[in-house]
Amino acid sequence: MQMNTRSRIPGRRAPAGRGASTRGKSVRLTRRGRLVLVVAGAVVAGAAVAVPLLSLAGATAGPATLVIPEGWRASQVYDAVDKALALPAGSTRNSVGSAGLKLPGEAGGNPEGYLFPATYSLDKDATPQSVLRSMVDTANQRFGWAPVAAGAQRDAMNVYQAVTIASIVQAEAADKIDMGKVARVVLNRLQRGMPLQMDSTLNYALNRSTLNTTVNDTRVENPYNSYQRMGLPPTPIDNPGTDAMRAALNPPPGNWLYFVTVKPGDTRFTADFAEHQRNVADFNAAQKARTQRSPQVSLPPR
């Protein structure tokens, strides 16, 4: 998914990122993941990594396969596992505490950020606990090696904070090519003591994915509301993939503080607020033209 970012200047709330209108509302297209449940041999799309875990021995049709796309929230993963294992809704969520997940201490038992996006094979004896353990173990393999820790330390953060930044990058970047610059914006804002003001964290707070963010939304009291709270959110806001993590650890140099995706393929980064306002004006004009061509539709909660 992609969410908006804004920045605040004294006396005025101003859009700083992904497309906020001058009327206190922001609108932008969202990239959404989808669940694919198939049998071996079928074409599977949407996963970052194929993980041959929990494979079914002796099955003639091959194991069922669960695809977790990059950027899904834990709530989406839980629902997908419930469906894949034909369990009542809520079964996987309720199994987190008994799964014995090897999470960092900072996570406080919350696996958000560590349910690694990949393709998982499920055997007939798979349980929510075994599937979750496979996801977390895969994340630890990807995030636990020495260069990841070294990259995090370069920016005075630990691995868990790097995963949190990667989750924001995953949600905010319109394209893979923009991920590094988005990560640099996040780091620049943190280093300058600026609130992140990312709509992706706000939508996580409100348990939704939407095309619109209003000024009233940004005033909600919630630890994930990065309009009101300084620093990173308490946990990752989704489960990032390898590209987002790489961007968080090795962002390109730059002084950017603002960005907005005016239209697909046209994301503009700048350190100058006046230039950003002009970019936002272009965004609003493009959105107005788009909404005149087709009705605006909000996405259901994720």
The residue among 224, 264, 258 whose CA lies nearest residue 20 is 258
User: What is the per-residue pLDDT for 208?
Assistant: 93
- List all residues 6 or more positions away from 179 whose beta carbon is below 8 Å from its beta carbon: 169, 170, 173, 243, 244, 246, 247
- Angle (nearest 5°) at CA 161 between 159 and 164: 115
Mean pLDDT of 223-228: 96
| Dist CA 116 CA 134 (whole Å) | 9
- List all residues 6 or more positions away from 2 whose beta carbon is below 8 Å from its beta carbon: 18, 28, 29, 30, 31, 171, 172, 173, 174, 200, 261
CA distances from 201 to 20, 137, 146, 196 (A): 15, 25, 28, 9
Report whether 71 contacts 1 (CB < 8 A).
yes
Note the pLDDT tens digit of each residue in 74-83: 999 999 999 9
Note the pLDDT tens digit of each residue in 28-64: 223 333 333 332 322 233 344 545 444 333 444 567 9
Helix axes 179-191, 159-172, angle to 10 degrees: 120
Note the pLDDT tens digit of each residue in 129-158: 999 999 999 999 999 876 787 778 787 789
**Residue 281 CA neighbour count, 13 Å, CB half:** 6
DSSP one-letter string for 184-224 = HHHHHHHHTT----BHHHHHHHTT---SEEETTGGG---TT
Q: Name residue, tokens 């095309």.
A: 211
For residue 265, the one-letter residue type is G
User: What is the per-residue pLDDT for 61?
Assistant: 58
